[in-house]
Structure 1
Amino acid sequence: MTDDLPAGGVVIDSAELTARWARAWQPEQAALRLRGVEAPWCVAAGWALDLFRGARTRPHGDLEIAVPAALFPRIRERFPEYEFDAIGSGRVWTGTAAPAMAATHQTWLRDPGTGDYLLDVFREPHQGDTWICRRDPAIRAPYESVIERTADGIPYLAPEVVLLFKAKSARPKDRADFAGTLPLLGPERRARLSGWLEQVHPGHPWLTELQPG
């Protein structure tokens, strides 16, 4: 998508961006606002791994959720007092103008009164009830197999899916997330992640660690 970004958009200084995300929501807040919404949404990224592990293991600079792209309007209507900005290649387009939305997959929920960002929404490819991996559309799975729930009902992306996305950059926090989650992955999860990594990132160093002991 980002190959066709429209003109305009602004780059926000990193210090300002950190300040504007300082009051990002917790998963419980997002779940409360989205209770009963008819869309298979879920908490993604680092927070999803913490929900899987049952405890907060590190600070989180934001809260990311994933939703089927075609059902984003159902999510958006739950936040009538806020605005969404389209995000791509480090640039921000204020409001959900059609060209920027069509060319990006990331959307930030903004408090128009303070300018604070509260929630990061990924609009993901899908086909009906089937999730399609943004990194490789050949990887597909029913939503019911990639969305799990905490004991109190907060939906989160399965850890093997989260780690597939984290493998691309493998920043220090991503490597720490992998190391902390790996002992909790059973044979089926390890096999699924290994297969995906071989397909998307052949030769990735995590493949060795995923092998049976």
Structure 2
Amino acid sequence: MPDRPEDVAKVFAKADFPWWIAGGYAIELLVGRVLRPHGDLDVLVLRRDQALVRDLLADWDLYVADPPGQGKLRAWRPGEVLRIPLHDIWCRCTPEAPWSVQLMLDEVEGAQWVSRRDPEIRLPIDRLGRTSDAGIPYLAPEVQLFYKAKATRDKDETDFEAALPLLDTSARVWLTDAIKAVAPGHPWLRQILSV
């Protein structure tokens, strides 16, 4: 059962599509140390690559959150194309195993990643990820923090405080603009600009 980014990297080693560790583990890959406990492992893939993901995980037990955010899961059938708004896939090695990986499908237009929260928020796909010293791809911290800014919890504050000093100017500017677009009064904005 994958329970660390290294384990997921082994599962995805044969992937011929881009993928990135997301969530709190993405922040830990940035800072190079453990920050807190985790309930699962998040992996971001592009919606256009979902058939490749489905093939890669053909032996896994895969369920999609349908409808999103309602706590209901249903099997993701082989050959089924998941369309917007479906974007959250829960994965486990076998039906008896605990859920271990949460796949998230994100949108693209051409060479641009497009936020599902606001299609005006974009980033070139080649800036969407970074690679850890161990060679593990992870979601760019500014994008991960943008996702975490929606409804911050203690763990999101921990991740924000650890990642903020490591963001370069362009990442801070992008994060500021993205948060302003969806939450103009967000408390993180003052901190981002004061670094």
Provide the TM-score with structure 2 as the length reference: 0.89
What are the superposed Cα offsets for residues 180-207 of structure 1, whole Å, 9 maximum, x if unpaired?
2112222222111111111121111111
**SS of equivalent to 2:94:** coil
- 1:166 equivalent in alignment to 2:148: yes
Aligned to 1:201: 183
Distance in 1 between residues matched to 2:190 and 2:77, nearest whole Å: 42
Tell me which of 173, 183, 206 is aligned to 2:165.
183
- 1:110 equivalent in alignment to 2:86: no
Tell me which of 82, 85, 94 is aligned to 1:101.
82
Structure 1 position 27, deviation (Å)? 0.8
**SS of equivalent to 1:131:** strand
Contact 1:40–1:143 (CA<8 Å) still a contact in 2? no
Aligned to 2:138: 156
- 1:139 equivalent in alignment to 2:121: yes
Structure 1 position 212, deviation (Å)? 3.3
Aligned to 2:6: 28
Q: Which residue identity is paired with 1:160?
A: E
Tell me which of 23, 26, 34 is aligned to 1:56.
34
Inter-CA distance 130–100: structure 2 relative to 1 (3 Å threshold): closer
Segment of structure 1 superposing worse, 154-163 or 138-147: 138-147
Number of residue equivalences: 191
- 1:75 equivalent in alignment to 2:53: yes
Distance in 2 between residues matched to 1:98 and 1:92, nearest whole Å: 18
Segment of structure 1 superposing worse, 75-84 or 41-50: 75-84
Distance in 1 between residues matched to 2:163 and 2:132, nearest whole Å: 16
Tell me which of 59, 72, 76 is aligned to 1:91.
72
Distance in 1 between residues matched to 2:179 and 2:42, nearest whole Å: 22
Distance in 2 between residues matched to 1:155 and 1:116, nearest whole Å: 24
Tell me which of 25, 49, 57 is aligned to 1:47.
25
Aligned-residue identity in percent: 32
Distance in 2 between residues matched to 1:111 and 1:148, nearest whole Å: 27
Structure 2 unmatched runs, 5+: none
Structure number, greater radius of gyration:
1
Segment of structure 1 superposing worse, 126-135 or 156-165: 126-135
Contact 1:24–1:61 (CA<8 Å) still a contact in 2? no
Q: Which residue identity is paired with 2:128?
A: V
Distance in 2 between residues matched to 1:96 and 1:200, nearest whole Å: 34
**SS of equivalent to 2:38:** coil
Provide the TM-score with structure 1 as the length reference: 0.82
Structure 1 position 42, deviation (Å)? 0.4
Distance in 2 between residues matched to 1:127 and 1:96, nearest whole Å: 26
**SS of equivalent to 2:130:** strand
